[in-house]
Amino acid sequence: MSEPARKRGVLAGGEPSTSSDSSTSSEWTTDDDSSTIESSDSDDNNDDLVSSVLNVEFEGRNPQFSDFPGVKQLLQQLFLKAPVNLSDLSSRLITQPGIGSVIKQVHDDDDDDDEDDNSIVDVNQVYGITTILNISQKTSECVENLHKLMLDLSNQFSDSDTTRFVNGLLSDDTKQVGLLINERYVNIPPPISVPLFHAIRKELFSLKPKDSSYNFDYLILISKIYKAKKDKKENKSFEGATVFWSNAEEEFFDDAADYKFEFCVQNDKGTGLAGNWVESDPEMVPFRRVLIFTMEKFLSVTNTLASFLEPAGTVYNSAYKPGSI
């Protein structure tokens, strides 16, 4: 069977930002003023370059209680109708100490004096969240929900080897398993993930000596993917269908995953792909792909991502640089 065509986004350009906050260990800023999206056309195999202008500056910072509504909304677009207490999960992600980042738009004090309402920044808007939650230790309702969800999904949708592995992994008290959450709105380019992932690495490096629950053996990532239905009247098989990744960088984790399985969420209400679609375009059917990989694979993939995607102009507020930990 031929490998599905792939699409990846690559961001170029940008100037260093002078905005930083030394009180937040995971903070970074990037001012991206141009982007180039490289795509593959499955019909004629010709690459098209589409340029767009981004005049938005983002920063990553530790989650705060005021981020609760935004974090919950992002989790809803990932889990859809899954039986997970998202209020409890949002609270856990915000209150767990010293790990995780939310994406915010940079607020300039000069904006307060700007008379143009279109330039006003909503300081409470959360554009994304990247973090890890231990799901081995069932210490809250949401963790119990996630633990059961992974077992149920694996039993229902994966092959026998994967099912056996997942059941063994989640029942082994000696293994620490983390759920890697990497969720953001679809119009934010993949390079923004590089400093977020490496902030996670730095935070884990600091936390592991103090708390063994952060010394993860395996990570689980639930990715949002879409498959193009070739015939709108037929929906019996997606074998060989083109796969589109909502977060393009997650395809690197897919390549490195030790185990994986997927399931269709077409009957659930979710967020579709951004873009200009016409009637003749194939229908995009949403799936979730569950990726399971070792912590060593996470370190290797994030190093690879840094070499491919790190945005020009990224500023870190410490001596830490990707690949140094």
SS3 247: coil
Length of the chain: 325
Is pLDDT of 148 > 90? yes
pTM greater than 0.85 (yes/no) = no
Q: Which pLDDT does position 81 carry in this prediction?
A: 94
Is pLDDT of 260 > 80? yes
Q: Which pLDDT does position 45 carry in this prediction?
A: 42
Is pLDDT of 299 > 60? yes
Q: What is the CATH number of the domain that holds 265?
A: 3.40.630
Instruction: Report yes or no on 324 lying in a domain.
Output: no
Is the CB of residue 5 less than 8 Å from the CB of residue 42? yes
Instruction: Report yes or no on 74 lying in a domain.
Output: yes
Read off the pLDDT band of 43 (50, 70, 90). Answer: very low
SS3 149: helix
- The neighbouring-strand residues paired with 9 are 37
Q: 44-53, 72-81, 91-100: which has the minimum mean pLDDT?
A: 44-53
Instruction: Report yes or no on 219 lying in a domain.
Output: yes
Quote the domain boundaries for residue 164: 58-107+122-309
pLDDT tens digits along 99-109? 999 999 887 65
**Which residues fall within 8 angstroms of residue 72, CB to CB, at 6 or more apart?**
86, 87, 90
Instruction: Report yes or no on 206 lying in a domain.
Output: yes
Instruction: Report yes or no on 45 lying in a domain.
Output: no
pLDDT tens digits along 217-256? 999 999 999 998 766 555 556 777 889 999 999 999 999 9
Q: 71-75, 122-126, 189-193: which has the minimum mean pLDDT?
A: 122-126
Q: Which pLDDT does position 24 carry in this prediction?
A: 35
Instruction: Report yes or no on 232 lying in a domain.
Output: yes
CA angle 318, 101, 113 (to 5 degrees): 85
**Bridge-based pairing state of the strands 177-184 and 218-229:** parallel
Sign of the C-alpha dihedral computed for residues 108, 113, 116 and 118 taken in this order: positive
Tally of domains within the chain: 1
Instruction: Report yes or no on 20 lying in a domain.
Output: no
Instruction: Report yes or no on 10 lying in a domain.
Output: no
Highest mean pLDDT among 98-107, 179-188, 315-324: 179-188
Count how many Cα atoms sit within 13 Å of the Cα of residue 112 in the half-sphere of its side chain: 4
